[in-house]
Chain A
């Protein structure tokens, strides 16, 4: 039973943005030694509540009490100094500084208070990383590591800075199972030390595994606070969504997809011995019309790289790609796009969206790029298309003029998806399309993938969630250590366990 005195208490928080009330009279409390989950749909106001607490935004009304003292942080730095640290949804560190520098930015150990003591910094960085069982070169630039590792580094930094409250806003959306377990170990250790942890995630399993208590928000309003053990998943989802939705039914296992009929035709895309040293070993992959091919593997196993080589985001050193029987030298994304291939990258902030542009501009971008600047998409048609996809994907706020920067993470992901869907690609490459998306929207996107495939679109589907890959794919390519080690037909015998085994052993098993 947690200690009865909350370490943090927020009351009557109201935050308005032009045209949107992001938070209305929200109360929130956090006890030491607990993991508290903040739940809600995309755009419910979770990140905003966190940003109000940490001084990124100033609330219009409300107050916060930290350890018995009324606080009002004017900047995240002030919050950090008072013991409240945050790891945001998107990694917010400096990509070209070294790992050690990132961990100690703004509080570098100094020699005689003057110059940075690099050896000391490196030693302490290594020590801190060892506590999360991460053994990496701390002098390498941050950008040379995968998003997952960057995320862990951000967490290490947050934890090291503050002892009272650590806020994790969707830290797990880019981590795979092993890394999540690693993170949870770290979180449990902190909990034992009496740290209060605020945790946001759209993965219900994770919430039930790690959290002690949860607060639910809906449309910027407080729904209530519960002990995790006292709220069933169905109750949780219906409180988040507000109605007893049939969404959960959609999450039920769908019948296994039929492969044989598809494979009888000529493949839409055939990659033969495509590869690039350092990225992925040469691989063969055939994608048929109307087929969903899943890619499974641990983070850094080369899933994304396979997609990038096919799309031309990175240039392959060897091999050929054949589309509809005609060979294609994919040199740049533009050539691939010209052959109706679309690619939603996993890192939407750096590779996907132009945050300063509006929702409308972001959605139209791919289509416009294909037409060239001399042939603008006529305004009428553009507005029609944009309106249609805002509606179809329920992008919130449903305002085409909204800046993408101001959208919640999940809604940004939907904008990215809409951008490619309007180009009506024949092959859609989705790299972690459901990352950061709430349960309802996730089911919608999964349904969308299935129906697009039924209409004849081919899909290359990459996800860290094996269940999702299994639910959607006709066949699953398994990657391990930057090598495509197996291609498994998704029949009755294929289970998540068997994929895990394949990943672990690196052998194809019975295909």
Chain B
């Protein structure tokens, strides 16, 4: 039990479970899953499906944060990726042709990767602080998306493209499978190669990493590029889901949810140790929150406050100092003050005369 509560994913998981159970009160069939036309439906499936883009963005964010950086531009990259893909598809004579859609996807992901790499260059080569470097693209990126689409919202009608965000595969939403695959591959690469170790080293102590000969510049560049790629993929899902690209609103504020997911998952903003599993749980917590807001019928004007309160609780629960204060008796025992006896000579101290 002790070791269980000490596990760094313990509290995030508890919060996730509590949130899910909370839904049950209001909606007894919350965990029910139906099969319809060979597809699974249900509230839990919805959480996974709508949470997929956030999981992806948070995945990339985790790696960036592990190196001690941050990427504020993911929301803009989401918008750009959607814009690039939709623009290309909208120009096709046959929007349902697989070939055209594939090219659109590759173009969008390529653009996202390039924008990520641009952030990486700003941070690692030019040495701009990550928050500033990515702020540039955060602001400029939406403008770029607008330019790509000529200031319009592009609506398309493409079944293959629609599949990415709203399709099904093996009875599950395709978006969930895509996100899980990306997460699994990334986690595998991190732990099977030495990339995870080296990133944690760079984030944990940059100077020491330089002195042991780690090529932190290329690692940092790589990580921002991966983060861009993840955001691009999320952008495809989001635009595919609504069959349109909206430069202004696609992925708006997703960077904040992603950062929250990472922090809830137990990766410190100061860099170093990271946990991809934690991030996934963090993203699910955030998504479940949004769902809960609807099932509990929280008035829309208070949803943000409700969200903030829950996030605050998770963060507090993760702080050992806070837990000791609140659940003192769960922490290490302390001897109760002995009866006010006067200090006496210690008995087993040898003091040669």
Contacts and interface: CB of A to CB of B under 8 A. Distances in A.
Interface of A: 9, 11, 16, 18, 27, 29, 58-63, 65, 68, 70, 222, 224-227, 230, 311, 313, 332-334, 337-338, 343, 345, 350-357, 361, 364-366, 368-377, 419
B337 interface: yes
Contacts of A16: 332
A333 B208 CA distance: 11
Nearest to B198: A373
Interface in B331-345: 332-335, 337-338, 340, 343
Contact of B343 (A65, A338, A352, A361): A65
B211 A345 contact: yes
Contacts of B349: 27, 29, 222, 224-225
A333 B210 contact: yes
B334 A60 contact: yes
A354 B211 contact: no
A68 B342 CA distance: 8
A60 B211 contact: no
A370 B201 CA distance: 14
B177 interface: no
A463 B297 CA distance: 69
A366 B212 contact: yes
Contact of A365 (B195, B212, B215, B338): B212
B234 to A, nearest CB: 25
Contacts of A332: 210, 213
B302 interface: no
Given A27-B346, A351-B211, A376 B351 contact: no
Nearest 6 A-B pairs (CB), nearest first? A354-B204, A224-B350, A27-B346, A376-B194, A334-B213, A337-B213
A355 B201 CA distance: 9
B152 interface: no
Most buried by B among A11, A354, A419: A354
Nearest to A376: B194
B182 interface: no
A446 to B, nearest CB: 24
B272 interface: yes
Nearest to B346: A27
B165 to A, nearest CB: 33
B207 interface: yes
Contact of A351 (B204, B207, B340, B351): B207
B40 interface: no
B331 to A, nearest CB: 8
Contacts, number: 124
A16 B334 CA distance: 12
B348 A27 contact: yes
Contact of A58 (B192, B212, B332): B332
A356 B272 contact: yes
A121 B335 CA distance: 42
B203 to A, nearest CB: 9
Nearest to B199: A373
Nearest to B205: A354
Contacts of A18: 6
B213 A369 contact: yes
Given A224-B349, A225-B349, A374-B194, 7 more contacts: A343-B211, A355-B205, A365-B212, A369-B209, A369-B215, A375-B194, A376-B192
A59 B205 CA distance: 30
6 contacts: A68-B343, A337-B212, A365-B201, A369-B214, A373-B193, A375-B193
Contact of B212 (A59, A60, A224, A419): A419
Nearest to B189: A373
Given A58-B332, A60-B332, A369-B213, A357 B348 contact: no
Contacts of A369: 198, 209, 212-215
Given A369-B213, A371-B194, A350 B205 contact: yes
Nearest to B353: A230
Contact of A222 (B6, B215, B348): B348
A354 B337 contact: no
B350 A351 contact: no
A65 B273 CA distance: 40
Contacts of A371: 194
B335 A356 contact: no
B200 interface: yes
B204 A333 contact: no
B272 A354 contact: yes
Contacts of B204: 354-357
B343 A9 contact: yes
**Which of B211, B212, B337, B351 has its CB near the most chain A CB atoms (within 10 A)?**
B212
Given A225-B350, A355-B205, A58 B213 contact: no
A368 B194 contact: yes
